[in-house]
Copies of this chain bind each other. A is one copy, B any other.
Amino acid sequence: MSNVISIFDTTLRDGTQGEGISLSADDKIKIARKLDAFGAHYIEGGIPGSNGKDIEFFKRVKSYAWNAKLTAFGSTRRKQSLAEHDTSLNRIIEAGVPAATLVGKSWDFHVHTALQTTLEENLAMISDSIAYLKRAQMEVMLDAEHFFDGYKHNPEYALAVLKAAQEAGADWIVMCDTNGGTLPNEIGRIIREISTQVQVKLGIHTHNDCELAAANTLVAVEAGVTQIQGTMNGYGERCGNANLCSIIPTLQLKMGYSCVKDEQLQELTTVARYVSEIANVHMPVNQPYVGNAAFAHKGGIHVSAILKDSRTYEHIQPELVGNKQRVLVSELAGQSNVLSKAQQLGYELDASKPETRSIMERIKELEHQGYQFEGADASLELLLRQATGQTEEPFAFESFKILVEKSAQRSVVSEAIVKLNIDGETIYTAAEGNGPVNALDNALRKALIRHYPYIEEMHLSDYKVRVLDENDTTAAKVRVLIESTDSQNAWSTVGVSSNVIEASWEALVDSIRYALIGREKRQLTPERKEQIGLVNH
């Protein structure tokens, strides 16, 4: 048996069924290009002709060369009709891509209840549709919908569906756990039972309704399937599809299967984060393998062990999937966290020097005030820079004013006035916004854009407010965490104040300072860097 597993990505089709996921044709092209470079074998682009985005996508696909096989999705022909006259099937052919996935019913209950036709007619629908696309020279996959439920209720019929597909010439039969309710031992047993009875290559398509989509996919591979269908970051209807970002590394690094090249696997984190950027969905920090916290250590015992040998608390080397180790600085940990964090960021601190002790004191004091640096690497780096004497600043703050006004007759208005100084020039500008923080953000950007056009490229991707010590109510301190991104990077900053506006201002300003200083660093020659003290070890 070969150990090569075909990766079938359906982010662009099933993934877009997820709540809050909406991709333009342009987004879809961008993601498809990235998946192609990553090494996906099949990229399911959508349902040709079903909507404007998918029509445009399949049109634009033709102007690129692909390593992957682009795939079009559709249902089997309508009941009581001819495949040749079926608009959707004809659109699949017209899409001009090499492969097609047809979804067909394999649970008798669905044939009766949802399709409202006979079991025989459903077999004919499957068989006619596959044969028609095969005659058009396409590679054809049957997605056997609700296969496991179907097999549990009526194994003869579920098997008859697979046999009809095989006889009609299907290249792949993909067993779907459409409602995500099947357990791993059932998946394994059923696949072993049917695999002796069909000769076509098998695939698996699972959903995460029991948090078992990854396990169900792995058990199917062990039972012999050689194609796995899933989405990036597990996007998809309800609880999502099988998450390829978790399954691919497990198959390849732990189970001896081959999915993509090793150097492609090292791009996994970048690809996953890119897709989440384009889809505009916040990636949970704790996402396996690719999340920002996947290799982050907070507990003091863990951190001190990690510093001795990272294998003590890491199941793989993070670099194998393009992620990295992070040590979180928090109340749960001690000095060793701060030192190793500084080292990671490129600052060599000598624990015995007084400057180092004074940074430690400063960080502890800030944490005591409510700052939290474990979620705000960029603010921590700015502190470390300052503490090590690297003090150049892209702008100097002079003042801001915010006005929020509401009357019984008129809806609320928020305005911000910002005064800054850049290289001796005073910049004084104002903007409105949906709320006071948005107005401040808008005014700040407006003030900076002429000197720093890059500011257009970065944007805030997450904004969190947390009330500290809630017993003090409206006079309590709040902590604001902001995450920002540009096309390359993500960074987080923090602000704390009893005034939510001031806390937001701090985090906003840190975010922009970090971006502008970092950008400058990237653009400078090594000599100039050295000159202005920007050398990281």
Residue-wise interface mask of A (332-367) relative to B, using a CB-CB cutoff of 8 A (1 in contact, 0 not): 100000000000000000000000000000000000
Task: Tell me if A308 and B114 are in contact (CB < 8 A).
Answer: yes
Is A372 in the interface zone, CB < 8 Å from B? yes
Q: Compute how far the CA of A234 lies from the CA of B459 in the bound complex, rounded to whole angstroms.
A: 30
Partner of A238 from the list B249, B293, B433 (CB cut-off 8 Å) is B293
Is A399 in the interface zone, CB < 8 Å from B? yes
Q: Compute how far the CA of A179 lies from the CA of B294 in the bound complex, rounded to whole angstroms.
A: 11
- Residues on B with beta carbons closer than 8 Å to the beta carbon of A255: 183
Closest chain B residue to A441 by CB distance?
A: B474
Is A6 in the interface zone, CB < 8 Å from B? no
Task: Tell me if B401 and A403 are in contact (CB < 8 A).
Answer: yes
Partner of A407 from the list B313, B398, B466, B471 (CB cut-off 8 Å) is B398
- Residues on B with beta carbons closer than 8 Å to the beta carbon of A294: 209, 238-239
Closest chain B residue to A416 by CB distance?
A: B404
Task: Tell me if A18 and B246 are in contact (CB < 8 A).
Answer: no
Partner of A208 from the list B22, B286, B473 (CB cut-off 8 Å) is B286
Is A67 in the interface zone, CB < 8 Å from B? no
Partner of A397 from the list B22, B293, B408, B464 (CB cut-off 8 Å) is B408
- Residues on B with beta carbons closer than 8 Å to the beta carbon of A381: none
Task: Tell me if A308 and B113 are in contact (CB < 8 A).
Answer: yes
Is A527 in the interface zone, CB < 8 Å from B? no
Residue-wise interface mask of A (402-416) relative to B, using a CB-CB cutoff of 8 A (1 in contact, 0 not): 111111100010100
Q: A133-141, A211-219, A266-274: which lies at the B interface? A: A211-219
In the complex, how many angstroms separate the beta carbon of A443 from the nearest chain B beta carbon? 12
- Residues on B with beta carbons closer than 8 Å to the beta carbon of A308: 113-114
Residue-wise interface mask of A (230-242) relative to B, using a CB-CB cutoff of 8 A (1 in contact, 0 not): 0000101111100
- Residues on B with beta carbons closer than 8 Å to the beta carbon of A299: 17, 237
Is A252 in the interface zone, CB < 8 Å from B? no
Q: A94-102, A190-198, A501-509: which lies at the B interface? A: A501-509
Instruction: Give the total of A residues in contact with B, Cβ under 8 Å.
Output: 133
Answer whether A210 and B250 are a contact pair too, CB < 8 Å, given A239-B293, A375-B19.
yes
Is A475 in the interface zone, CB < 8 Å from B? yes
Q: Compute how far the CA of A250 lies from the CA of B182 in the bound complex, rounded to whole angstroms.
A: 10
- Residues on B with beta carbons closer than 8 Å to the beta carbon of A26: 470-471
Q: A159-167, A277-285, A385-393: which lies at the B interface? A: A277-285
Partner of A285 from the list B19, B24, B295, B309 (CB cut-off 8 Å) is B19
- Residues on B with beta carbons closer than 8 Å to the beta carbon of A481: 20
Q: Compute how far the CA of A209 lies from the CA of B181 in the bound complex, rounded to whole angstroms.
A: 22
Task: Tell me if B501 and A473 are in contact (CB < 8 A).
Answer: no
Q: A56-64, A122-130, A446-454, A492-500: which lies at the B interface? A: A492-500
Closest chain B residue to A293 by CB distance?
A: B19
Q: Compute how far the CA of A459 lies from the CA of B308 in the bound complex, rounded to whole angstroms.
A: 45
A residues in contact (CB < 8 Å) with B = 16-20, 22, 24, 26, 51, 75, 109-110, 113-114, 178-181, 183-185, 208-212, 214-215, 218-219, 222, 234, 236-240, 243, 246-247, 249-250, 254-255, 280-282, 284-289, 291-299, 301-302, 304-305, 308-309, 311-316, 328, 330-332, 372, 374-375, 396-408, 412, 414, 419, 433-438, 440-441, 459-467, 469-471, 473-476, 478, 481-482, 497-502, 504-505, 508
In the complex, how many angstroms separate the beta carbon of A335 from the nearest chain B beta carbon? 16
Task: Tell me if B403 and A399 are in contact (CB < 8 A).
Answer: no
Counting from the closest, the 6 A-B pairs by CB-CB distance are: A181-B315, A215-B215, A435-B499, A399-B407, A460-B473, A211-B246
Enumerate 19 A-B pairs (CB-CB under 8 Å) in ascending A order. Answer: A19-B328, A20-B471, A26-B470, A113-B309, A114-B305, A183-B250, A211-B288, A238-B295, A280-B471, A282-B470, A282-B471, A399-B405, A435-B475, A436-B499, A436-B501, A463-B476, A465-B466, A465-B500, A500-B500
Task: Tell me if B464 and A498 are in contact (CB < 8 A).
Answer: no
Task: Tell me if B470 and A464 are in contact (CB < 8 A).
Answer: yes
Task: Tell me if B297 and A254 are in contact (CB < 8 A).
Answer: no
